[in-house]
Amino acid sequence: LSFLFQTLRQLSQRTISTASRRQLENRVPEKQKLFQEDNGIPVHLKGGAMDVLLYRLTMGISVFG
Protein backbone atom coordinates (compact mmCIF):
# COMPACT_ATOMS: atom_id res chain seq x y z
CA LEU A 1 0.00 0.00 0.00
CA SER A 2 2.82 2.42 0.82
CA PHE A 3 4.50 1.45 -2.45
CA LEU A 4 1.39 2.54 -4.34
CA PHE A 5 1.32 5.93 -2.61
CA GLN A 6 5.04 6.44 -3.26
CA THR A 7 4.60 5.58 -6.94
CA LEU A 8 1.63 7.94 -7.29
CA ARG A 9 3.54 10.74 -5.56
CA GLN A 10 6.53 10.32 -7.90
CA LEU A 11 4.26 10.24 -10.95
CA SER A 12 2.40 13.39 -9.90
CA GLN A 13 5.65 15.26 -9.19
CA ARG A 14 7.02 14.25 -12.57
CA THR A 15 3.81 15.34 -14.34
CA ILE A 16 3.77 18.72 -12.58
CA SER A 17 7.43 19.41 -13.24
CA THR A 18 7.20 18.55 -16.95
CA ALA A 19 3.99 20.52 -17.42
CA SER A 20 5.54 23.65 -15.94
CA ARG A 21 8.41 23.51 -18.45
CA ARG A 22 6.13 23.55 -21.47
CA GLN A 23 5.47 26.95 -22.92
CA LEU A 24 1.82 27.49 -23.67
CA GLU A 25 0.79 29.90 -26.37
CA ASN A 26 -1.37 32.78 -25.14
CA ARG A 27 -4.53 32.65 -27.25
CA VAL A 28 -6.57 35.09 -25.16
CA PRO A 29 -6.23 38.02 -27.62
CA GLU A 30 -7.47 35.78 -30.46
CA LYS A 31 -10.48 34.68 -28.42
CA GLN A 32 -11.22 38.26 -27.34
CA LYS A 33 -11.22 39.38 -30.97
CA LEU A 34 -13.53 36.50 -31.92
CA PHE A 35 -16.05 37.17 -29.15
CA GLN A 36 -16.04 40.97 -29.56
CA GLU A 37 -16.58 40.84 -33.33
CA ASP A 38 -19.94 42.33 -34.35
CA ASN A 39 -21.23 39.70 -36.78
CA GLY A 40 -24.80 39.21 -35.59
CA ILE A 41 -24.10 35.89 -33.85
CA PRO A 42 -25.16 35.75 -30.17
CA VAL A 43 -22.19 35.57 -27.81
CA HIS A 44 -23.27 32.18 -26.44
CA LEU A 45 -22.88 30.68 -29.94
CA LYS A 46 -19.63 32.34 -31.04
CA GLY A 47 -17.48 29.49 -29.73
CA GLY A 48 -18.29 27.28 -32.70
CA ALA A 49 -20.03 24.00 -33.36
CA MET A 50 -19.71 22.71 -29.79
CA ASP A 51 -21.50 25.80 -28.46
CA VAL A 52 -24.33 25.30 -30.95
CA LEU A 53 -24.61 21.63 -30.00
CA LEU A 54 -24.71 22.39 -26.27
CA TYR A 55 -27.27 25.18 -26.83
CA ARG A 56 -29.58 22.91 -28.82
CA LEU A 57 -29.20 20.09 -26.31
CA THR A 58 -30.06 22.45 -23.47
CA MET A 59 -33.08 23.84 -25.33
CA GLY A 60 -34.25 20.30 -26.17
CA ILE A 61 -34.00 19.18 -22.56
CA SER A 62 -35.85 22.33 -21.46
CA VAL A 63 -38.70 21.80 -23.93
CA PHE A 64 -39.11 18.08 -23.37
CA GLY A 65 -38.37 18.27 -19.64
Domain residue limits, the chain: 1-64
Is the CATH number of domain 1-64 2.60.40.420? no
pLDDT, position 21: 58
pLDDT tens digits, residue range 2-32?
778 788 888 777 655 555 556 889 999 999 9
Across the chain, mean pLDDT equals 86
DSSP line for 35-59: HH--SS--GGGTT-HHHHHHHHHHH
Count of Cβ atoms closer than 10 Å to residue 6 Cβ: 10
Q: What is the pTM of this model?
A: 0.53
